[in-house]
Amino acid sequence: MRAVWAAARAAVRRRRLQTFVIGLVAFLCTATVVVSLALLDATSTPFDRVFAAQRGAHAVAAFDRALVSDAQLTGAREGVAASAGPFAQATVSLESDDPGPWLRGPLRVVGRAAPDGDVDRLDVWQGRWATGPGEVVLNAVPADGERFAQGPLSAVSEVTVGGTTLRVVGWAWSVSASADAWATPAQVAQLDPAGTQMLYRFSGDVSSREAVRQRLSGVTTGLPGRSLLAAQPYQVMKDEAAETAGVYLPFLGPFGVLGLLVAVLIVGNVVSGAVVSGFRHIGVLKSLGFTPRQVVAVYLTMVSVPAVTGAVLGTALGVAGAYPLLSDTFRDLGYGQTGVPTWVWVAGLLGVPGLVLLTALVPARRAGRLSAAEAISAGSAPRRGRGLRVQRALSGTRLPRSVSLGLGLPFARPARTALTMASLLLGVITVTFATGLSGSLLRVAALGTEAGGDIGIRPGNPDFNETMSTRTHQEVEALLRGLPGTERIGISVTRSYAMVGQSSPVQVDFVRGDVAAMGHERQLIAGRWMSAPGEVVAPTEMANERGLKVGDTLTLEVAGDRMTVTLVGVTMMGLPGSGDDALFAPWREVPGATPDDYYYQVEVAEGTDLAGYMGAVRAADPGLSPWDNSGGDDVTPVVTTFATVLALLLATVAALGVLNTVALDVLDRRRDLGMLKSIGMTPRQVITMLVTSMAALGVVGGLLGIPFGLAAHRLVIPMAADSAKITLPDSVMAVWNPVTLALMVLCGVLIAVLGALLPARSAARLTIARVLHNE
Amino acid sequence: MTTETVVRLDGVRKEYGETAALDGVSLRIRRGEAVAVMGPSGCGKSTLLNMVAGLDRPTSGEVTVHGERLDLMSETRLALFRRHHLGMIFQFFNLLDDLSALDNVALAAQLTGSPAGTARRRALELFDELGIADRRDLYPAALSGGERQRVAVARALMNRPALLLADEPTGALDSRAGEQVMDLLIDLNQIGQTLLIVTHDERLAHRCASRLVEFADGRIAAESTLDRV
Ligand SMILES: Nc1ncnc2c1ncn2[C@@H]1O[C@H](COP(=O)(O)OP(=O)(O)OP(=O)(O)O)[C@@H](O)[C@H]1O
Ligand SMILES: [Mg+2]
């Protein structure tokens, strides 16, 4: 064993560069794998994690207070592992006008003395719990301090329900969606509660909605009939969560897969290269009396030292890098502080070194079986046909000799070339995919922010101590058009209609002004923009959910106002004021609409200061309440950041694969290099030769990799859109043009050249005098 | 210095760590001379050759070849200098395995930018002169040792060097092949080629060289003029 260790240590010392490259590749691959796995884990299970942390309710049940007593409810425990409640529950309507789309009546207020308990442990992320009369805590996804301060939530200081005004003292988040608001039990008792809430965690099977319903029936069998008013299985919330997180998975999943593939390939190439180039060394060891098993051990020790070191450092970097990215992202979705789970740590620490050893085992065993004589003469075996014909043809070309020699190099070792090519290929695929992905997402985001205008304006809401403008919509429009910087204005008024043949009502946004020109027309996925009364356009999410197609005729009805309209187009999104569940219709006056039923959006001239503009709006009419609508979405920056980081990591790893190949070539061919120098090859010609050999592979890798990258882009974007239940206009896919494609080929060349440059330069500087005189 | 002096070493010292491979060597070689260097293994013969070829730099001292100070040149200048003024042959031939014999020889001219056609024509002339024309399309692995060394000589002569350096040119050959290479070197010297040959082989030294330099421990121990056999 001591001999093995000594020989391995000597081998590591003699191959400093090899050892360093193995370590670096293990390091970067581990970091990539850890980030990718953490990402996959975070995208696939955020709901489950938060659900477990909050001890979420398998069922949120509401019972009729008139039919069943609290004591009966507490007594019914058939199949219940844990429960919370009974809590009084009042359903009240918000008497103020909507403070925003995120808070709409009716409101479910539950009386709870404390946020914790056996089930549904609430995350009170802002302010405190309601402890006294007149206090309320609202349910919302957590936002960090800065975001909270900017966002619409911080503006809500009180809500008026059932004639009582309640002061908002805190914000809490329930992943089980057990209530919209919480107050003290005494406070809720005054709101005339009709229901009693029970929160259950069951001990039996809860894998499906049906299973949850069965568990629930175990609880209700002893209770008076029809006392259960409503029950919400947790799958409802889980599906909703999957819809959001599901957008990330198809975007980022391919990076995880690419990362693992590149890791396997490069590690394989680096390690088998190290072993093959050590064949002579093996021969010497054997002639000294090392057994085959000892030879294998020497080689495995030689590669595992840098592999383990690299993996440890790589795991640390991966975790350190993934943590802030993940927690930032998933906090905004309401899934709290997302850490890197243990199994990812373990996979990083054990997986990559394991992979390295496994890859090393194949050539190491071959080395072990080799006879000493064979091993010593390895590498000087005569070469075969095709490579030689290529060399001959190249030798006769008009290319500078250093270039044609370089072009011939890859043919000398086809297996090594294939592995190098594969890693270049994956590098190019990754970069192409990341570029396409970011390009498309930026287009989607641009379409979205563009259509929303820069500034949204509604008349102030008196319920929030704001004054409401008394101007008519025509007057507000005139006022806004008169402000410096105004470029375009869209105006809408929303009305709710019953839709014949559909159970839930639909909102209709009657629009005029520049709504189409502000970007909604460019968002069309199908059909055309409306051009006459009686035509409507629907956002894709609404069309998909309600099964509407272009050409459908819809009958809408409210308070004697009946209209038959034809769907002529489908857009990507709805108006920011009303969300994706409202139809666009040409302008008409809505009887009985008050000034605050109107929504205005303004696009300002390039370079206009938004804060200044909003100030000017308020100064012109204090009854108008403007906000900045120019921000993008949450998904785009996250995905583009991840895509960029992972693409850079993988490109670096691919470049290291090239570096390793060139380093091995130099090692294998140092006699040839010495001879070439002795007959007058200049250092620059040496560099040219070695860099050309890899740049050629870069060109081929670029040309072959691009179609795969394009295909991945073509496949993944619609998949992601699908899981978000939307369709995207074709224009977002058209991010490619000849220039960007040429850049992608160039990127393959760049990876190859950058990887080759370092070892090529050191080869050019190498003093090879000694190898020339001695074999 | 007259142009008649092709190589001039003045107090050349080369240290590798603690040990001095060359310890103050001064030597002159005139045009048309054939100098043989002999000495025990490890005494610094190959190191001397490396200095003259500009493949390595002296720790101190001056190396002047063909009127130029090699110890002061950049790597690139050295490469260009070797290309135009020096030819080298080695004990183990150092041919590129994946080029044919002809392309191995043409390579030397192609590196200077000669088109492939011109380079191959000049290489063919040399193959004819050296009597290996029928071997031109074979690869090194298919050639005998003597043939490989003759290909190496052809490559060294491609650019009509002022000086031909040889390190144990017959060291890896049997006696018959060795004789052929010696005859070749003698012929070359007779038409004016300056030679510097490092060897262990007394016969080679006495047949080919006009002057013998004996080396020991990095120094010149003795010099003598030879009457060629
Ligand atoms: N690159 C080097 N690094 C360290 N020591 C070296 C190096 N090159 C040569 N030496 C040492 O310098 C001394 C002279 O070596 P050199 O190769 O010139 O001997 P030589 O006379 O050619 O021997 P041989 O007849 O065996 O070829 C030796 O002791 C050798 O070990
Ligand atoms: Mg020697």
Would you tell me the crossing angle of helices A635-668 and A234-276 to the nearest 10 degrees? 10
Tell me whether A377 touches chain B (CB under 8 Å): no
Tally Cβ neighbours within 10 Å of residue A243. Answer: 12
Do A523 and A449 form a contact (C-beta atoms < 8 A)? no
Residue with tokens 């966002």: A151
- Which of A124-128, A363-367, B62-66 is predicted least confidently? A363-367
Instruction: Kindly report, residue by residue over A135-185, the tens digit of the pLDDT.
Output: 888 888 777 666 666 666 666 777 777 677 888 888 888 888 888 889 888
Q: Which two tokens stand for residue B198?
A: 């490092």
Distances (CA, A) of A328 to A382, A528, B222: 59, 39, 82
At B102 the pLDDT is 93
B50–chain A Cβ distance below 8 A for any pair: yes
Query: How far, in Å, CA of A582 to CA of A499, rounded?
Result: 12
Query: Are B23 and B53 contacting, i.e. CB atoms less than 8 angstroms apart?
Result: no
Instruction: Quick: pLDDT tens for A407-460.
Output: 888 888 887 888 888 888 888 988 898 888 888 888 877 777 777 778 888 887
Query: How many other C-beta atoms are found inside a 10 Å radius of the C-beta of residue B146?
Result: 20
Can you tell me the mean pLDDT for A180-192?
Answer: 85
Determine whether the interchain pair A677/B141 forms a contact, defined as Cβ–Cβ distance below 8 Å: no
Q: Is the dihedral of CA A593, A594, A599, A604 positive or negative?
A: positive
Rounded to the nearest angstrom, the minimum Cα separation between A380 and chain B is 8
Q: What is the nearest CA distance from A730 to chain B, expressed in angstroms? A: 52
Which of B82, B90, B95 is facing A680, going by the closest CB pair? B82
Number of Cα atoms under 13 Å in the Cβ half of residue B119 = 24
First-to-last C-alpha distance (Å) of chain B: 32
Helix and strand counts by DSSP (H, E) for chain A: 24, 20
Spell out the residues 6+ positions from residue B182 whose beta carbon is closer than 8 angstroms to its own.
Answer: B170, B203, B204, B207, B208
**A412–B103 CB contact, under 8 Å:** no
* Residues sharing a CB contact under 8 Å with residue B137, sequence separation 6 or more, in sequence order: B100, B101, B102
CA of B199 to the centre of ligand 2 (A): 8
Within 8 A of A775 by CB-CB distance, chain B residues are 91-92
Residue B107 near residue B155 (C-beta atoms within 8 A): yes
How many Cβ atoms from other residues are within 10 Å of residue A305's Cβ? 16
Angle of the A279-287 helix axis to the A292-332 helix axis, nearest 10: 140
Q: Does A402 touch chain B (CB under 8 A)?
A: yes
Of A609 and A500, the structure prediction assigns the larger pLDDT to A609
Q: Encode A550-603 in three state secondary structure.
A: CCCEEEEEECCEEEEEEEEEEECCCCCCCCCCEEEEECCCCCCCCHHHEEEEEE
Distance CA A426, CA A418 (A): 12
- Residue range A200-205: average pLDDT? 83
Label each residue of A468-507 as H, E or C. CCCCCHHHHHHHHHHCCCEEEEEEEEEEEEEECCCCCCEE
Cβ distance A391 to B98 less than 8 Å, yes or no, reads: yes
Beta-bridge partner residues of B9? B27, B63
Taking all residues of chain B, what is their mean pLDDT, rounded to a whole number? 90
Could you tell me if A276 and A18 are in contact, meaning their C-beta atoms sit under 8 angstroms apart?
no
What is chain A's length? Answer: 775
Q: Which residue of B has its CA nearest to A769?
A: B55
* Interface probe, candidates B76, B77, B92, B98, chain A, greatest A C-beta count within 10 A: B98
- Tell whether A408 lies on the interface with B, counting CB pairs under 8 A: yes
- Strands B60-65 and B5-16, how do they pair? antiparallel
Pick the residue of B97, B118, B138, B168 with the most A CBs within 10 A to test the interface with A by mutation: B97
8 Å CB contact between B166 and B195: yes
B108 and A679: CB-CB below 8 Å? yes
Task: Examine the pLDDT at A35 and tell me if it is beyond 80.
Answer: no
| Those residues with Cβ within 8 angstroms of residue A709's Cβ, 6 or more apart along the chain or in another chain | A428, A429, A430, A431, A432, A433, A435, A436, A744
Residues of B in contact with A683 (CB under 8 A): 75-76, 79
Asked if residue A130 lies in contact with residue A187, where contact means CB atoms within 8 angstroms, the answer is yes
For the cut 70, the answer to whether the pLDDT of residue A634 exceeds it is: no
- DSSP 8-state code for residue A224: P
Q: How far apart are CA B214 and CA B199, in angstroms?
A: 10
Q: What is the largest CA-CA distance in chain B?
A: 50
Q: A400 and B53: CB-CB below 8 Å?
A: no
| A682: contact with B, CB 8 A cutoff | yes
Q: Which residue has the higher pLDDT, B102 or A130?
A: B102
Mutate to test the pocket of ligand 1, among B18, B38, B43 (most ligand atoms within 8 A of CB): B43
Query: Mean pLDDT, chain A, as a whole number?
Result: 79
Residue A691's pLDDT is 94
How far A729 CA sits from the closest chain B CA (Å)? 56
What pLDDT score does B1 carry? Answer: 45
CA distances from A358 to A23, A34, A37 (A): 16, 19, 21
- Amino acid residing at B202: E
% helix / strand / coil in chain A, to the nearest 5?
A: 55, 20, 25
Q: Say how many C-beta atoms besides its own lie within 10 A of residue A288's C-beta.
A: 10
Work out the percent of chain A whose per-residue pLDDT is above 90.
5
Q: Which stretch of A332-341, A526-535, A732-741 has the lowest confidence by average pLDDT?
A: A332-341
In this structure, the dihedral spanned by the alpha carbons of residues A115, A121, A124 and A128, taken in order and rounded to 10 degrees, is: 20
Closest CA to B46 of A673, A775, A770: A770
Please say if the pLDDT value at position A90 is more than 90: no
Three-state secondary structure string covering A68-97: CCHHHHHHCCCCEEEEEEEEEEEEECECCC
Provide the pLDDT confidence category of residue A700 given band limits of 50, 70 and 90. very high
Domains of chain B with bracketed CATH: 5-95+163-225 (3.40.50.300)
Looking at ligand 1, which atom is closest to the CA of residue A773?
A: 27
pLDDT given for residue A690 in this prediction:
93
Alpha helices (H) along A190-291:
209-220, 234-276, 279-287
How far apart CA A375 and CA A278 sit, in angstroms, is 9
Distance CA A307, CA A27 (A): 8
* Banded model confidence at residue A463, pLDDT cuts 50, 70, 90: low
Q: DSSP states of A437-454 as a string?
A: HHHHHHHHHHHHHHHT-S
Are A382 and B91 within 8 A, CB to CB?
Answer: no
**Best of A773, A774, A775 for a ligand 1 pocket test (most atoms within 8 Å of beta carbon):** A773
Question: Does residue B137 contact residue B129 with C-beta atoms inside 8 Å?
Answer: no
Position in ligand 1 atom list of the atom nearest CA B49: 18
What gap in Å lies between CA A338 and CA A324, rounded to an integer?
9
- What is the C-alpha end-to-end distance of chain A, expressed in Å? 31
pLDDT at A382: 47
Relative to the alpha carbon of B215, which ligand is closest? 1
Tell me which residues have their CB closer than 6 angstroms to ligand 1.
A 770; B 16, 19, 21, 41-47
pLDDT tens figures, A368-411: 777 666 665 554 444 556 677 888 888 888 888 888 888 888 88
Nearest CA of chain B to the CA of A751: how many Å?
Answer: 27
Q: pLDDT, tens digit, for every residue of A303-320?
A: 888 889 988 998 888 888
The DSSP secondary-structure symbol of A125 reads E
Chain-chain contact of B55 with A671 (C-beta, under 8 angstroms): no
Using a 10 angstrom Cβ sphere, with 0-12 exposed, 13-18 middle and 19 or more buried, the burial of residue A105 is middle
